[in-house]
Structures are given as C-alpha cells and as structure tokens.
C-alpha cells in the first residue's frame, strides 16, 4: 500500500505479459456477509475480499454494535447496515465520513419506515447520520420504491425480506438502475435457500429462512476493467486474469463485449480469462452505463488515452458516488487534452480538445476509481496520481500489481 501524497506512474516499454492477481468481488462478498448475519448461522465464505469496504463490514457484523457505528466512506456498507440494523431491531447511531453524510439515503429510510423501522435523522433530512430506534412491524408487506437512483437500496430491502413477518412485495418505480446487481442479490439469496420471483417491475419474497451453505466469492470484474484498459493502451499485451467466470453474477462482466471495440480480445478458460491486444475497431457505438456505472470512469479515461471520441449515457448515479464522478471526470480529462461534455440531456461525449499536459497530475477526490482509471494512461504519458492510498477501498494491492506488470512507481 502506497501512503504517500502522490505517485508518479510510467512504463518503460509498453509491453506487458503475465498473470495478474485481482481482488475478490466486494459486491458478492458484502451480500454474503449480510446474508450470513441475517441467517444467524455460521458458514464459511471463501475468497473473502480484502477490500476495505468488505473488511469493514465483516468487522462491524462480527462484533457487538456499539452506541455509534461508522460505515466510513462505504456506500454499500451504509445502505446494507441501515436495513440490517432496522430488521434486527438494533438501537444505535449509524454514521460515516463527511462525504458519506452528503450521500442520500432517504429512499431506503422511507421504505424501512413503512415496514415498521423507527429511524431518525440526526442532521439533514434524507442523509446520514441515522439514529436507529428499533422495529415494530407495520402490518404491510407492500412497498413501491424508486429504482432509478441506486440498486443498493433495492438489494438492502431484498436481503431482509425473508425475515419480515409477511415477507415483501416490492414494486420498482421507474427505469431500473444497475439491474444486474439486483439479480446478483436474488441469485445469492437463492444460493442460501431463499426463493423469490422477479416479474416485470415486481419482486416478491415470502417469509422464509436462510440456509447455511458454503460460498466462494468470484474475482472482481470491476477491478478487471483497469487491466482491460491497460491492454488497450499497451503497445503489446498478453495478460491472464484468474478466477473470472463467463457465467458471472456481476454486472461488470459485460467487459468482454464492451472492450472489444477498444482492441481487447477476451478468451475464457476454466481458470480465468486471457486478454490480448488487438487493433482498435471503429466506429465505436454509444455506450450505455446504466447497468454498469462503475465502468464509466475507466472507459472515459481510456477513450482519451486512445484519442477516441465516445458517447456515454446512463451516468445519472455517478453524481452520488464517492465523489461527483461526472464533475471529477470533467476536471481531470482536461489535463489529458480531452473534454467530457453534455451534448444533450443525459448524453455525454468525450471530445479531444488539445495536447495533454506534460506529466499531468490527477486529483482523485477520495475516489478509488479515479486513481485506478487514470493510472493506465501512464502507458501513453507519465502521470502523477494524488492520494494513491484511496485504492484500499476496493483493490489494496493495485499498485503492487502494476509494479509486477512492469510499471515504474516513484513516490512523490
């Protein structure tokens, strides 16, 4: 882990070959941890992610809750714990970092209140910190919830649904954001013995019990995206990413199709995927990130590095992530000679504007994905990444893996 204020990243040859170690999926791991806690049973979860978000959630669920619990900067931890503490009737204060207390949670709190949760806002209405004051069943199991903001609200409600006195009938209102993550949640619930139906805009979960079963977490496709970008930007690349599956539950497993036009060939093997650099295919179609928003920063930075103009849609949820990711991209892409411009409502385009700065310094805004999305551009021009330690949130060994692949890292 690099804890310096900044790190200069470069690559002497632009040629990369070898095997890359990926973190385990924190999306899968965090759901498995919540389900295990809700089940009241102890069962092994193999290949648990070493990402800070997952380790934090594991600690908070493994020790008795205190008077105040901090989800730090972890969105899934905040949202999943809000539902978990509500359903289990715990009384405590749930808070987080200053940025976390600026991220909305009103949709989830309103839904939990309708089910009987006693929750009080201690600051601004609709935002953490929250005072959890117990649970008294409200006599209804029917909810209508906006589904165009964050799938994490939906997943949090679904995981507690089997514990509710009448189960849950959940109607999703509006376009469903990040639907693959909702289906991941339901698939993992099924693995642990809970059945649900998802038809149209309605999900129904009856009252049931989770069963104790071993679970093995897949490698993280979101983390794999940076190696796809590296492959596309390299002069030559032949990289193996272990423990990724073609039948993955993760929404970001669209990468093989998404990245093919950028010149990355994916070959699945029983052990993982082999990435090979190929010529860039043109033209590139408009890309919709509504189902895979965590890939948007990677693609925007990659397009700038390759000198391509790309239209991007489905970026609505980026405003409420670790930072306002649209604004962050707009500020930082300028340093690469590119521009992210809103060309029509909800449609953004990466434009090429000028020559990139000499050794641009990338501000990361306390956002792990800003650091990891921009570092691969060192294959085109050396880049300085500020606050490199932010990668601990999801990929603590990222800088070590870059060094193994031949990148030169100079602490600033």
What's the sign of the alpha-carbon dihedral 352, 353, 356, 357?
A: negative
Residue 235 in 3-state DSSP? Answer: coil
Determine which one of 294, 324, 346, 367 is catalytic. Answer: 294
Q: How far is CA 340 from CA 150, 288, 363, 386, in A?
A: 23, 15, 16, 21
Q: Centre a 10 Å sphere on the Cβ of residue 105 and count the other Cβ atoms it contains.
A: 27
Residue 96 in 3-state DSSP? Answer: coil
In the residue annotation, 294 being an active-site residue is answered as: yes
End-to-end Cα distance, the chain: 14
What region, left, alpha or beta, does residue 202 occupy, with left being phi > 0 and alpha being psi -120 to 50 degrees?
Answer: beta
Cα–Cα distance for residue pair 391/400, rounded to 1 Å: 11
Residue 246 in 3-state DSSP? Answer: coil
SS (H, E, C) 288-301: ECCCCHHHHHHHHH
CA 178, chain centre distance (Å)? 10
List residues bridging with 236 in a β-sheet. Answer: 15
Q: Residue 285: which of 308, 305, 252 has the closest Cα?
A: 308
Which residues, 6 or more positions from 379, have their beta carbon under 8 angstroms from its beta carbon? 11, 14, 230, 233, 234, 235, 305
Radius of gyration of the chain measured on its C-alpha atoms: 21
Would you call 279 exposed, middle or buried from its count of C-beta atoms within 10 A (0-12, 13-18, 19+)? exposed
* CB hemisphere CA count around 192 (13 angstroms): 30
User: CA dihedral defined by 62, 78, 190, 170, rounded to 10 degrees?
Assistant: 140
* CB hemisphere CA count around 339 (13 angstroms): 8
Beta carbons of 75 and 97 less than 8 angstroms apart = no
Q: What amino acid positions are annotated as catalytic residues?
A: 294
């Amino acid at each position: 882990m690099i804890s310096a204020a900044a790190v200069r990243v470069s690559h002497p040859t632009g040629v990369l070959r070898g095997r890359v170690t990926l973190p385990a999926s924190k999306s899968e791991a965090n759901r498995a941890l919540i389900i295990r806690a809700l089940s009241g049973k102890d069962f092994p979860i193999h290949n648990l992610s070493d990402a800070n978000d997952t380790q934090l959630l594991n600690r908070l669920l493994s020790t008795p809750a205190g008077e105040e619990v901090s989800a730090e900067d972890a969105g899934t931890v905040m949202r999943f714990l809000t539902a978990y503490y509500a359903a289990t009737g715990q009384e405590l204060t749930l808070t987080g970092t200053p940025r976390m207390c600026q991220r909305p949670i009103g949709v989830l709190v309103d839904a939990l209140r309708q089910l009987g949760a006693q929750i009080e806002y201690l600051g601004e209405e609709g935002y953490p910190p929250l005072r959890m004051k117990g649970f008294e069943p409200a006599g209804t199991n029917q909810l209508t919830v906006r589904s165009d903001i964050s799938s994490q609200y939906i997943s949090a409600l679904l995981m507690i649904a089997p514990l509710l006195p009448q189960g849950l009938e959940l109607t999703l209102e509006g376009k469903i954001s990040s639907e693959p993550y909702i289906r991941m949640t339901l698939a993992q619930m099924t693995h642990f013995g809970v059945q649900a139906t998802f038809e149209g805009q309605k999900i129904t979960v009856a009252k049931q019990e989770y069963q104790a079963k071993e679970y093995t977490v897949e490698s993280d496709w979101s983390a794999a995206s940076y190696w796809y970008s590296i492959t596309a930007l390299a002069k030559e690349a032949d990289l193996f990413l272990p423990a990724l599956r073609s039948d993955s539950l993760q929404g970001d497993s669209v990468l093989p199709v998404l990245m093919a036009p950028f010149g990355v060939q994916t070959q699945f093997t029983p052990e993982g995927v082999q990435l090979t650099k190929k010529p860039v295919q043109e033209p590139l179609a408009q890309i919709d990130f509504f189902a895979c928003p965590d890939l948007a920063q990677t693609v925007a930075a990659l397009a700038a590095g390759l000198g391509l103009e790309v239209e991007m849609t489905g970026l609505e949820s980026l405003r409420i992530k670790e930072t306002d990711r649209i604004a962050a991209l707009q500020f930082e892409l300028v340093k690469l000679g590119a521009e992210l411009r809103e060309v029509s409502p909800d449609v953004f385009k990466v434009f090429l504007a000028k020559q990139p700065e000499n050794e641009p310094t990338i501000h990361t805004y306390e956002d792990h994905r800003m650091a990891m999305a921009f570092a691969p551009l060192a294959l085109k021009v050396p880049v300085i990444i500020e606050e490199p330690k932010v990668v601990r949130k999801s990929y603590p060994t990222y800088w070590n893996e870059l060094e193994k692949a031949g990148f030169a890292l100079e602490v600033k």
